[in-house]
Structure 1
Amino acid sequence: MHTLVSATSTSCKRFSIFLLALLLSGCASQVSGPLRFDDSMKSRGQSGRIDIIVLHYTASTKPSALMTLTNRDVSAHYVVTDDKPPIVYRLVNEDKSAWHAGESSWYGKTFLNQRSIGIEIVHPGWTKNSNGDKGMPYSDTQIAAVIELTRDIAKRNNISPENIVGHSDIAPMRKIDPGPSFPWKKFAQAGVGRWFDEAAAAKYEANFIRTGYPDAGWFQKQLKRVGYQVPESNYFDAGTLAAIGAFQMHYRPDRVTSRPDPQTAARLMALPTTGSGL
């Protein structure tokens, strides 16, 4: 009996020592003090999280826009007001996603909130019509502020000109902002955005007037080449016509018909896939 008790006692002591060893081992493996990081080496397999800038108009007054963008489930990183001089409100830090793009696509990338910066411009908006009215013009001071802001964001994030777009470009079936009065050519001339080769476009247009504009399949391939999401139906369906309208608002704002024609085909053909085109 004494032998059994001694054996049991010895086993308990050994088990206790084992548990203590495990505990000490666990304590020893814990980091003492803050983690230390070595940033001397970098991976080549990486890119910036932000690669698109999306421009919007508010279709409202400044008070209404700020109320909406700060109290509802819609937001933007920046708001540029129509004050003189304009005020730039930063509503969302650039390291966070703002809810401004919605269902969207550009060069095959979809749901762009996670990879874009949204800029809202206080403007009354535009109602699409057939009389050629482009809507209320943006003021020179407001556009100067938007150009400066956009240039700064693009430089810091290495965003290429073709990825500075309007809401209508990335969601042509749903959106028409920033509308045909937005001066995209002026942006491109300031080094912020893309434009087409006007000399080449004039030659292409003369040729298309003689021969007729291309078919739906051609338009779909060209629109896709320059970033737009379009069906590949080989006919002028609603999605293709909406993309044509978005292209016209950006590159032929004097006449937005959402219909194919020689001039639209020529400007589309003269638009580079990348770069400013100027």
Structure 2
Amino acid sequence: MRFALLALTALLLTACTGGQVIDDSFSSRSQSSRVQYIVVHYTSTDLAHSLALLTQGEVSSHYLIGDSPATVYRLVDENRRAWHAGDSAWQGRTWLNASTIGIELVNQGYEQGPSGAVWQPYSEAQIEALITLLKDLVKRHELPIDSIIGHSDIAPQRKVDPGPLFPWQRLAEAGLIRWPDAAAVATRRAVFEQALPDALWFQQQLAHIGFSLAFSGEFDEPTRNVLAAFQMKYRPARYDGMADAETAALLATLNAE
């Protein structure tokens, strides 16, 4: 019995690097994970270059998911900061490297063709691996729904990844994000087709979703970039950044839930 108590005491008392003894026998109930969001990216290059860039360069991410096979690489411990978000903002929080987990998917992104951008699709194995990883992260870090966002959400003025071929609706079907109800969208679209809201309304609705943008009252370039990021996620068939009845209906439906 005495030996067991001594062993327990030894486990609870740990030494710092400098030799100071730290007592770990008490733990505060007022704590939570440092992680507030999970940010999804694509790498814009192949696996070999992605690994080199994310392990030897100035940028990093917590996880990298290959394409063939869909191997999940852990590159940075979740308790440490990875340099993946850059100048970023979401729901009033800024510079999100400190409060996010970054996940990169090996994907070339897009090439410019005669008719515009040609995007590389994601493999089914990649998406399955991603969803499995996301479910584990959400559970362990006790994240609420809608905590998974794209790089284009947090930096719409300079980033477009994970792009219009990323299957956000699959994440919704897995219970990881919300998705606007189709019937509600159709009902609201009919109303907005009669009278489209002004620019300020769109800016306020986008800000309520989480985007960072100025309330200029104009459909200026920054606003169009944010609209395009929103459309790329919820209406990837058309992401021209132009305000229309369907985009208004999608925004209103999401914000009403």
- Aligned equivalent of 1:149: 133
Per the normalisation by structure 2, the TM-score is: 0.87
Residues 130 and 91 of structure 1: CA distance in aligned 2, closer, same or farther (over 3 Å): same
Determine helix, strand or coil for the equivalent of 1:42.
coil
Aligned with 1:71 (options 40, 51, 56):
56
Higher-Rg member (1/2): 1
Q: Which residue of 1 aligns with 2:82?
A: 98
Shift of 1:229: 0.5
Once residues 270 and 132 of structure 1 are traced to their aligned partners in structure 2, the CA distance between those partners, rounded to angstroms, is 30
Amino acid at match of 1:122: V
C-alpha separation in 2, matches of 1:169 and 1:128: 22
Q: 1:259 to 1:40 in 2, by over 3 A?
A: closer
State whether structure 2 residue 173 is matched by structure 1 residue 189: yes
1:130-161 C-alpha deviation (Å, 9 max, x unpaired): 95866222111110001111111111111122
How far the C-alpha of 1:268 sits from its partner, in A, is 0.9
Q: For 1:52-67, list aligned pairs within 5 A.
A: 52-67=37-52
2: CA distance between counterparts of 1:267 and 1:208? 11
Count of residue pairs the alignment pairs up: 239
Q: Tell me which amino acid in the other structure corresponds to 1:114.
A: A
What is the identity percentage for the equivalent residue pairs of Structure 1 and Structure 2?
Answer: 45
In the other structure, the counterpart of 2:198 is 215
> 1:124 Cα shift?
1.0
Residues 132 and 256 in structure 1, CA contact (< 8 A), matched pair in contact too: no
Residue 135 (structure 1) aligns with: 119
Asked if the contact 2:146/2:176 (under 8 Å) is kept, the reply is no
SS for the counterpart of 2:254 is: coil
More strand by share: 2
Instruction: Measure how far apart 1:38 and its partner are.
Output: 3.7
Q: Any gaps of 5 or more consecutive residues in structure 1? A: 1-31
Deviation by residue 1:238-269 (Cα, 9 ceiling, x = unmatched)? 21111101000110101110111111111111
Q: Give the direction of change, closer, same or farther, for the CA distance of 1:105–1:149 in structure 2 (3 Å limit).
A: same
- Quote the Cα distance in structure 2 between the aligned partners of 1:33 and 1:229: 45
The answer as to 2:15 corresponding to 1:36 is no
Cα RMSD for the two superposed structures: 2.1
Q: 1:215 and 1:255 mapped to 2: Cα distance?
A: 20
In structure 1, distance between residues paired with 2:218 and 2:113 = 24
Cα deviation digits, residues 61-84 of structure 1 (max 9, x gap) = 111111111111100000000013
